[in-house]
Structure 1
Amino acid sequence: MSSQTPGIQTLGIIGGTGWLGGSIAKALLAKGVFAQGHLVISNRSGSHPLAREGAQLVTDNQALVARSGLIILAVRPEHFADLKIDASGKTVISLMAGVTAQAISKQTSAAAVIRAMPNAAVEIEQSFTPWFCFGEVDAATKSLVQRLFESVGTAAEVTQEDHIEVLSALSGTGPAFPALLLTALARQAMVAGIPADIAQLAAKNVVVHSSQLLASRDAQETLDSLIAYRGVTAAALQSLTDGQFEQQIGKALEEGAAVARKGL
């Protein structure tokens, strides 16, 4: 059963067969956020397996806009300049990093722009997606946008566009920070003489499996209790603190956000 908002009966996704747009389209159809025949996606060929799941395929982006009450731009930022659509009177949701809402509004003539920043975990429906509204967006549309992104994980509206730039460098990176930590832990274990296969198993357990405990525990309280124990873990954590670990994370976020603000 479809749960779309009255007045927005059809969603269009430009780039809806790529990994990001395709993951969202698949989840929306599977969960009935939009009914079969009310999700339109565009690509160059006009064909895709998503058609068997109820999506309508088109090759012309403007035709998609004409048929849709809400449009998602799931294209790479560097391809946006070549995207020629007239979305007058429509609301456009952009998934592009580094392209401002004002620039999108100017090029598409959209009545309102929503910038959203999902991450690679859309593939497993575990993304966190912050979103920001530019222009007038009514409560019903906001509710639909929230449900749309909750179909691939969790989501929250932010009140400042710059929050999207910062979160592009945080949650928008998806598995990047965990992958870096896992790689560093495994490599340093190997430096200490641990066989490569054992080092990889141990590091993956820490980053992927043990971290699942934090789903139901407060992170700071967990740290405080481990440090208070004054054991092996406390010594390791103190070493990272002395090495300005948190400041390095802050610098990384600043550098990433600066790129997003400047534009890709």
Structure 2
Amino acid sequence: MISKTLGIIGGTGWLGGAIAHALLATARLPAANLVLSNRSGSHPLAGQGVCLVTDNQALVARSDVVIIAVRPEHFASLDIDATGKVVISLMAGITAQAIATQTSASAVVRAMPNAAVEIRQSFTPWFCSGTVDTATRELVQQLFESVGTAAEVREEGFIDYLSALSGTGPAFPALLMTALANQAIAAGLPADIAQLAARNVVVNSSQLLQTHDAQQMIEALVAYRGVTAAALQSMVDSRFEEHLGQALQAGAAVARKGLHG
């Protein structure tokens, strides 16, 4: 259990709210140790003993660790003094140095959860800038394990790249499922059958990857030299992996540029 007091700026939004609910539901944090800020100063979580404030600086004053869960474009107007505090940023494209400069935080952790926090299946990479002790690192890991899995990375640039990989959450699977369904419809299949087939491939069949190595599965299917092998070979010939790499680099470039380019 986390013993420090945690404040979430934007804690009643979709991302901050999902983390707040998960922390309470998994009993990783006592309700009395959670502080949330919003404009109204009211929220159903108050009924569980969570502290709600309307002023962000008041939240900082009450908290040992502060999470900033606002959109990146709103950061410039966020006027807080977090001197001596650890600040955890969930904002893409805002560097640890920029956050430390604006907030005077003693240490900054950048983390990149994704939309799967809603079902507690996010993968959250995180990076520490500044002096962060072992206890705080353990707190960060526990915090993000409440909404899935998490891992510390050793270079800040990895966060920018992962913003375009894991940070996109269900975006790539959603694109694949839509493309599969559209192509099946274009081939003459009824829309309902096409959508059921595409959903099965992306949502259901992919669960085999929880217990099977992906590369070994591909090699086994290719070795069979059947229908699947032909489809996979066509994707390889069309430079599927190269195109995916270009997509990831494009997203990472936006994350690196942030709001300062």
Q: Deviations over 1:23-42 (max 9, x none)?
A: 00001011122112110000
Counterpart residue number, 1:131: 126
Give the deviation of 1:53 after TM superposition.
2.5
TM, length-normalised to structure 2: 0.98
> 1: CA distance between counterparts of 2:158 and 2:126?
9
Q: Check if 1:153 corresponds to 2:148.
A: yes
Q: Deviations over 1:179-217 (max 9, x none)?
A: 000000000000110000100000000000100000111
Amino acid at match of 2:72: P
Of 18, 28, 47, the match for 1:52? 47
Counterpart residue number, 1:216: 211
Give the deviation of 1:48 after TM superposition.
0.7
> 1: CA distance between counterparts of 2:14 and 2:26?
18
Counterpart residue number, 1:28: 23
Amino acid at match of 1:145: V
Give the deviation of 1:55 after TM superposition.
1.4
Q: Deviations over 1:105-133 (max 9, x none)?
A: 00000000000000000000000000000
Aligned partner of residue 87 in structure 2, secondary structure: strand
Q: Deviations over 1:149-196 (max 9, x none)?
A: 000000000000000000000000000000000000000000110000
Of 188, 192, 195, the match for 1:197? 192
Of 36, 43, 62, the match for 2:38? 43
> 2: CA distance between counterparts of 1:53 and 1:125?
20
Contact 1:29/1:54, CA 8 A, preserved across alignment: no
> 2: CA distance between counterparts of 1:29 and 1:167?
27
What runs of 5+ residues in structure 1 fail to find an aligned partner? none
What runs of 5+ residues in structure 2 fail to find an aligned partner? none
Amino acid at match of 1:24: I
Counterpart residue number, 1:249: 244
Counterpart residue number, 1:227: 222
Counterpart residue number, 1:184: 179
> 2: CA distance between counterparts of 1:131 and 1:27?
18
Give the deviation of 1:13 after TM superposition.
0.1
Aligned partner of residue 130 in structure 1, secondary structure: strand
Cα RMSD for the two superposed structures: 0.6
> 2: CA distance between counterparts of 1:249 and 1:92?
33
> 1: CA distance between counterparts of 2:91 and 2:153?
16
> 2: CA distance between counterparts of 1:201 and 1:53?
41
Identity %: 73
Amino acid at match of 1:54: G
Counterpart residue number, 1:240: 235
Aligned partner of residue 37 in structure 1, secondary structure: helix
Contact 1:117/1:164, CA 8 A, preserved across alignment: yes
Give the number of aligned pairs: 259
> 1: CA distance between counterparts of 2:38 and 2:217?
47
Runs of 4+ in 1 over 3 A off after TM superposition: none
Contact 1:116/1:164, CA 8 A, preserved across alignment: yes
> 2: CA distance between counterparts of 1:50 and 1:189?
45
Counterpart residue number, 1:207: 202
Tell me which moved more, 12-21 or 53-62: 53-62
Amino acid at match of 1:4: I
